[in-house]
């Protein structure tokens, strides 16, 4: 069994796919080709998720019906058969499952902390949204027809085994807004297959058509990475230009495209518009993507309620700490520093950079040991950071 660290995205990715390193994966496989890691270690991911964890979840949480699907051999069951329209009826879900239907549990990182940590670490690695869906598939059945996904997938086999048949596909690197449609997206001939057993992992690039079939009772995590693309950057730039540059909102010449219209004038106008797609606008669009990612980070609040309930008064001997897994970032802007600490954005004077960097590096410290000129400054800083949710009082 491998223990996955709670934070440090490259470490988590390294552990997830070893003996392949994160660096080798990103350089050789990411967005390029399928990867299969065979281990012969059934308990390799036991610290991440087990069948017992899922059993406990289903028996203790009334899951929203929007997060649960049932089906057998690509034929779905109406949600009204196993829900009240809002929440699922677990007994009915398990009854259908016993009859051979796959249970698909979507976005389970919203309920399972270890999967949440995994998603947050992948989001830090790729600066893209991540999600975890769980597939519980009875032996000799399949949950879907051959298809491709518009996001990259790490298939983490938790229990049992599954055979994945890979197919030719005419659409390369679909955007996240694309949806597979059997009527419009024919799947080509089979090109090979892979076999996953408990403890194995596979990487399926977006657009690679696949058809999974359980060879025995199977449980796997589909860790989806919804990448940002150059199309996103261009859409961001164009959206800004359309709002700020009147030239892009001008009407086309009358009868453009009809007989005798001035094509040369249109081409000249297009070149003028194209010249406004500058590297500076690209940099701004990339900065905005980073800001969106930072805003989506979920602050860690572990221990905060306990600290509030105890009504603890801070003193110089109080021990404060960053919540487990909290992330910190610092960016200098002239004489000031912009800090993002556990999801809280702060503007700091230059004199506070050293104590913030110290807290970020150490993680847990007695108030009197915070770098500052006076005890009053140390205490005032600790109080502010606890009140803002950046730090918690250690137990």
Other beta carbons within 10 angstroms of residue 175's beta carbon come to 14
Name the band, by pLDDT with cuts 50, 70 and 90, for residue 309.
confident
Structure tokens at 275: 């010249």
- Mean pLDDT confidence for 258-276: 86
Res. 54: pLDDT tops 90: yes
Looking at residue 1, its pLDDT comes to 59
Looking at residue 307, its pLDDT comes to 74
Over residues 145-174, the pLDDT tens digits come to 888 899 999 999 999 999 999 998 878 899
More confident residue, 365 or 193: 193
Name the band, by pLDDT with cuts 50, 70 and 90, for residue 303.
confident
Mean pLDDT (the chain) is 88
Looking at residue 176, its pLDDT comes to 87
- Mean pLDDT confidence for 42-60: 96
Name the band, by pLDDT with cuts 50, 70 and 90, for residue 373.
confident
Res. 9: pLDDT tops 60: no
Over residues 201-210, the pLDDT tens digits come to 999 999 999 9
The 8-class DSSP code of residue 94 comes to: H
Backbone dihedral region of 11: left (phi > 0), alpha (psi from -120 to 50 degrees) or beta? alpha
* 122 burial type by CB count under 10 A (0-12 exposed, 13-18 middle, 19+ buried): buried
CA distance 148 to 188: 11
Looking at residue 7, its pLDDT comes to 47
Over residues 330-358, the pLDDT tens digits come to 777 677 777 777 777 777 777 777 777 78
Res. 259: pLDDT tops 90: no
Looking at residue 2, its pLDDT comes to 55
Looking at residue 5, its pLDDT comes to 47
8 Å CB contact between 4 and 15: yes
CA distance 385 to 381: 6
Over residues 96-118, the pLDDT tens digits come to 999 999 999 999 999 999 999 89
Over residues 224-235, the pLDDT tens digits come to 999 999 999 999
Task: Provide the β-strand partners of residue 137.
Answer: 218
Res. 312: pLDDT tops 80: no
Name the band, by pLDDT with cuts 50, 70 and 90, for residue 372.
confident
For the ranges 22-36, 76-90, 141-155, 337-351, the lowest mean pLDDT is seen at: 337-351
pTM given for the model: 0.84
List the strands of the sheet with 336-341, edge to edge: 328-333, 336-341, 344-349
More confident residue, 303 or 48: 48
Q: Which of 6, 61, 2 is nearest to 302 (CA)?
A: 6
Domains and CATH numbers, the chain: 9-226 (2.60.120.650), 230-294 (no CATH), 304-393 (3.90.930.40)
């Amino acid at each position: 069994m491998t223990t996955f660290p709670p934070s440090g995205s490259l470490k988590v990715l390294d552990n997830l796919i070893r003996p392949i390193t994160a660096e080798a994966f990103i350089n050789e496989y990411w967005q390029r080709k399928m990867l299969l890691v065979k281990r012969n270690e059934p308990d390799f991911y036991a610290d991440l998720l087990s069948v017992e964890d899922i059993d406990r979840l289903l028996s203790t949480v009334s899951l929203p019906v929007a997060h649960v699907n049932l089906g057998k051999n690509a034929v779905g069951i109406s949600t009204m058969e196993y829900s009240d329209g809002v929440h699922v009826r677990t007994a009915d879900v398990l009854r259908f499952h016993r009859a051979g239907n796959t249970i698909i549990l979507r976005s389970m990182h919203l309920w399972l902390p270890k999967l949440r940590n995994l998603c947050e670490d992948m989001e830090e690695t790729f600066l893209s949204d991540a999600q975890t869906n769980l597939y519980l598939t009875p032996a000799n059945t399949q949950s879907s027809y051959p298809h491709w996904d518009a996001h990259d997938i790490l298939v983490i086999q938790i229990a049992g085994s599954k055979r994945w048949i890979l197919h030719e596909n005419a659409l390369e690197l679909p955007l996240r807004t694309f949806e597979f449609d059997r009527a419009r997206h024919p799947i080509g001939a089979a090109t090979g297959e892979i076999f996953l057993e408990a403890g194995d992992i596979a990487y399926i690039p977006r657009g690679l058509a696949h058809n999974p079939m359980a060879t025995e009772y199977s449980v796997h995590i589909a860790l989806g990475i919804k990448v940002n693309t150059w199309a996103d950057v261009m859409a961001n730039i164009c959206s800004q230009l359309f709002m700020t540059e009147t030239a892009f909102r001008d009407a086309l010449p009358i009868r453009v495209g009809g007989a005798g219209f001035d094509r040369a004038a249109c081409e000249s106008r297009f070149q003028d518009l194209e010249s406004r797609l500058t590297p500076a606008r690209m940099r701004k669009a990339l900065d905005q993507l980073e800001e969106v990612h930072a805003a989506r980070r979920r602050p860690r609040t572990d221990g905060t309620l306990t600290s509030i309930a105890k009504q603890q008064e801070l003193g110089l001997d109080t021990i404060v700490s960053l919540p487990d897994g909290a992330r910190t970032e610092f960016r200098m802007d002239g004489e000031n520093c912009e800090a993002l600490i556990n999801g809280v954005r702060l503007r700091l004077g230059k004199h506070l950079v050293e104590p913030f960097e110290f807290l970020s590096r150490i993680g847990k410290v007695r108030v009197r040991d915070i770098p500052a000129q006076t005890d009053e400054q140390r205490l005032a800083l600790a109080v502010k950071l606890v009140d803002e949710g950046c730090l918690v009082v250690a137990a």
